[in-house]
Amino acid sequence: MKALCFSDHQLATLQHLAAPLSQKQRRRFLDLVMKYLAGVEVGDATVHMAGLRAQQELRREAPWLE
């Protein structure tokens, strides 16, 4: 998978969305974000939406506040 370079703002957005997740869920969170960003133009809005979508998926799979 191709590596992505995030701006400081985008990285802060992902860190904020990953913060309430358990340590175990954070790797899966990043994997999902990368999956959702595949083939799209990466910008602030797409990174935010990918992060939200990944967080929502993880919340459905398992409790997110442990």
Taking the whole predicted model, whether its pTM rises above 0.75 is answered as yes
CA distances from 40 to 23, 24, 34 (A): 27, 27, 10
Residues 29-48 pLDDT 10s: 999 999 999 999 999 999 99
What distance in Å separates the CA atoms of residue 10 and residue 14, rounded to the nearest whole number?
6
Yes or no: say if 34 and 51 are a contact pair by the CB < 8 Å rule.
Answer: no
pLDDT at 21: 87
